Structure 1
Amino acid sequence: MYNRLARIGSTSVRSPLCSGWAKLRYGNIQNMAEIPSSGITLLYSGLNSTATSGSRYSTKTRTDNVEYNKMLAEYQKRVEQYEPATLDSLEFNSSSADSNLPPIIAIHGLYGSKLNWRGLMRRINKTLDRTIVAVDLRNHGSSQHMGPHNYFAMTKDILHFIEQKKWDKVVLMGHSMGGKVSMITSLLYPELVSSVIVEDMTPSFSELSQDFINYLTGLEEIHNHPERITNLRQADELFHKYEPNDKTVRQFILTNLRLNDEGVLKLRLGSKYIREGMDDVRGWPLPPPTFVPSTPHQQKDPLYETMPEPSKIINSGSIGSNASDNLQSQLIFEYNKPSLLVCGSRSTHINGAGVAKFKKMFVNSSIVELDTGHW
């Protein structure tokens, strides 16, 4: 997904969610006819907000719905109870000292790091002259290792990072686990987020395969190996049994190893905290919950009874009347500023119920598919 977004190709389109003409750089879009209406240009325009006061969307606010405000305050307390972790970051600054465009914060997924974003960051910075910063989430990369590893704690980390930077507003761009952090931050603190881009993740339960646990076990084996593992060739040989089929995935996971002062590869993940928080990483902590019906320890979600496939929702722009009625009957958080969901057409992390929830919660949103998988 990171590489696909950074690949070169260009055209000019006019998007209703962007002011004027925007330069679009894209990968292999599955349906080229969808480009003008999809809002993919938002990815490279920094999602300049076009939402105005008196929005046509019936979004609940802190002042017009007592029940909604009470729910919002309750969930903000859940975020603010946590001690923030110190986050390391990589930054490309705008050359315009007087630029009033909000900076973009890029947030990686599970087992990722700020370095995943380098190619895309350079392109956005060069093309748009925008400040863009990628962070290492807690227990990843060079950031602080501490528990717990859950979405409320990670949201608190992002809020603390924004506060340290003294930024009034930001654009959030998150992949996978980082996409959930971006969505939660946007929904609970909309005054801080001018727009949001979510890559291959929806506000729903995520079915993580046993592979994700195996990857952590493999990295820990290398970290604790009695022999000195001093290069990635040795590490790849040891890790091969945990991912025998996909060399690209192995290379990605092994980026979590770094040479220490003695020249030995050691793990940069807070593996203890990640392992303890894996159920939280799978989940979605805001109402209403969406569960995968094949998961035995979770209740089957009625949305799945009538939900179209994600591609049908994306192409038609509709989630169907039954699903809409189901969601309409529940009090949910909403975000009414420009939002973009980028789905991988070959990804297993996106399902119809999740896309439906995204459209319902992010009411001023566009959705686009790229011909790629989750990574």
Structure 2
Amino acid sequence: MLLRRAALESVVAQKQLQFIPSLFGRNFRTSQHCCLQGATAEVGEGHKPVALDYEFYEAPRSGGSHSANTDAVVLCHGLFGSKQNWRSLGKAISQKTGVKVYALDLRNHGTSPHVDSMSYLGMATDLGKFFKDHSIRNATLIGHSMGGKAVQSFALSPTLPQDALSHLVSVDMSPARGPLSNEFAQYIEGMIEIEEAKCTSRHQADEILQRYEQELGIRQFLLTNLVRAPGANYWTFRIPVKLIKRHLDEIGDFPYDSEAIHGTRPVRTWSGRALFVKGAKSKYINRKNRPLCDAFFRNARHVELDTGHWVQAEDPKSFIKELVNFIETSPS
């Protein structure tokens, strides 16, 4: 039920974002760097980094404020999402902070390369490559849901450059381990059936997906990844659904142990400034796993907004207000 609500919220919330132009001006320098339909990376192991596609936003400098505490903002989406989820907010964040903003497609999502792994160690190496390739320093790194675990893994990496991050923000995601809902496997099966049927219309694809999911909102969310196959008259998914099926367990995992966990994985902590933004109607961050957030991230703050799982999309104004306050407040 939690996944069901989150998916429904995502569709409604993304539509709401279309109606917040007052948050930012129109004269943005926007660029998109991507390959077509997602490329297959020639990699032999899941931890080898891939080059992530992205959109770049930079508000015009017209005497406005520029954050003294961060030099860039990097945004990461959740499972089945893409850089497009952050487009409106990315522009708003750039205007409010006066810094450049990068919205990424994580591996196997959007138009980023496909690689046979969904491990968070792999995602962390991708982020490391992106930071290096774009000479990013002193950045605020933000991730929602699956992206939240990806950015936490990057911050905890033993190879993290000392000057890479100024702030870390995880939106409604803790570092806790746990299995994904069985619904994810059902959705993947439906998406695979759509690909194998070589549907010639989106309506035909939706009819197939109805056998796996009755809620229209969830189907609409999943079908945002449906694109016309290059040079063909049928539809396919831009995400590698069969590959993701093989790695669903990795998405519920986390690569490190904290001092509160007596396991076999490396014990890591990060003492930089971290913010966990919880949706009050969501259970992804709860009283049981919140101590894990504080164990891994010694300088963590917590805020709660009156939303479900899609915090930044359901209440973008409050989210940006909390984000800017977090960035601009000097460390105590």
TM value normalised by structure 1: 0.64
- Asked if 1:327 is matched to 2:254, the reply is no
- Asked if 1:352 is matched to 2:317, the reply is no
> Which amino acid in structure 2 is aligned with residue 151 of structure 1?
Y
Q: Residue in 2 aligned with 1:264? A: 234
What is the distance in 2 between the residues matched to 1:262 and 1:126?
41
CA shift, 1:94, in A, is 4.1
What is the aligned residue count?
A: 266
- Asked if 1:229 is matched to 2:179, the reply is no
What is the distance in 2 between the residues matched to 1:88 and 1:125?
19
> Which amino acid in structure 1 is aligned with residue 184 of structure 2?
F
Whether the aligned pair in 2 keeps the contact of 1:346 and 1:374 (CA below 8 Å) is: yes
What is the distance in 2 between the residues matched to 1:187 and 1:97?
37
Cα 1:198/1:8, change in 2 over 3 Å: farther
SS in 2 for 1:244: coil
> Which amino acid in structure 2 is aligned with residue 359 of structure 1?
D
Whether the aligned pair in 2 keeps the contact of 1:218 and 1:239 (CA below 8 Å) is: yes
Which of 139, 145, 168 matches 1:176?
Answer: 145
> Which amino acid in structure 2 is aligned with residue 85 of structure 1?
V
- Asked if 1:141 is matched to 2:119, the reply is no
Q: Residue in 1 aligned with 2:175? A: 203
Q: Residue in 2 aligned with 1:109? A: 78
Cα 1:224/1:8, change in 2 over 3 Å: closer
Q: Residue in 2 aligned with 1:317? A: none
CA shift, 1:6, in A, is 5.8
Whether the aligned pair in 2 keeps the contact of 1:206 and 1:349 (CA below 8 Å) is: no
What is the distance in 1 between the residues matched to 2:46 and 2:212?
37
Q: Residue in 2 aligned with 1:76? A: none
Whether the aligned pair in 1 keeps the contact of 2:46 and 2:119 (CA below 8 Å) is: no
- Asked if 1:219 is matched to 2:154, the reply is no
What is the distance in 2 between the residues matched to 1:94 and 1:152?
33
Which stretch of structure 1 is more off in the superposition, 195-204 or 161-170?
161-170
What is the distance in 2 between the residues matched to 1:259 and 1:345?
38
CA shift, 1:362, in A, is 1.6
- Asked if 1:275 is matched to 2:245, the reply is yes
Whether the aligned pair in 2 keeps the contact of 1:6 and 1:123 (CA below 8 Å) is: no
TM value normalised by structure 2: 0.72
What is the distance in 1 between the residues matched to 2:186 and 2:283?
18
Cα deviation code 1:115-157 (max 9, x no counterpart): 1111211211233322111111111110111112211111111
Which of 87, 93, 101 matches 2:52?
Answer: 87
CA shift, 1:229, in A, is 2.8
What is the distance in 1 between the residues matched to 2:77 and 2:244?
15
CA shift, 1:106, in A, is 0.7
Gaps of 5+ in 1: 10-24, 26-79, 289-325
SS in 2 for 1:327: coil
CA shift, 1:190, in A, is 6.2
SS in 2 for 1:173: strand
What is the distance in 1 between the residues matched to 2:119 and 2:252?
10
Residues 46-65 of structure 1 aligned to structure 2 (within 5 Å): none
CA shift, 1:272, in A, is 2.9
Q: Residue in 2 aligned with 1:239? A: 209
Which stretch of structure 1 is more off in the superposition, 198-207 or 172-181?
198-207
What is the distance in 1 between the residues matched to 2:51 and 2:204?
32
Q: Residue in 2 aligned with 1:187? A: 156
What is the distance in 1 between the residues matched to 2:94 and 2:213?
35
SS in 1 for 2:178: coil
Which stretch of structure 1 is more off in the superposition, 159-168 or 362-371?
362-371
Cα 1:273/1:81, change in 2 over 3 Å: closer
Cα deviation code 1:284-324 (max 9, x no counterpart): 11014xxxxxxxxxxxxxxxxxxxxxxxxxxxxxxxxxxxx
SS in 2 for 1:186: helix
Whether the aligned pair in 1 keeps the contact of 2:79 and 2:146 (CA below 8 Å) is: yes
Cα 1:223/1:89, change in 2 over 3 Å: same
What is the distance in 1 between the residues matched to 2:98 and 2:260?
40
SS in 1 for 2:93: helix
What is the distance in 1 between the residues matched to 2:98 and 2:73?
11
Cα 1:328/1:275, change in 2 over 3 Å: closer
Cα 1:248/1:151, change in 2 over 3 Å: same
Which stretch of structure 1 is more off in the superposition, 85-94 or 256-265?
256-265
Q: Give the aligned CA root-mean-square deviation in angstroms.
A: 2.9
Q: Residue in 1 aligned with 2:37? A: none
What is the distance in 1 between the residues matched to 2:252 and 2:262?
25
> Which amino acid in structure 2 is aligned with residue 350 of structure 1?
I
Which stretch of structure 1 is more off in the superposition, 167-176 or 122-131?
122-131
Q: Which has the larger radius of gyration?
A: 1
Which of 264, 284, 288 matches 2:254?
Answer: 284
Whether the aligned pair in 2 keeps the contact of 1:91 and 1:134 (CA below 8 Å) is: yes
Percent identity of the aligned residues? 31
- Asked if 1:342 is matched to 2:268, the reply is no
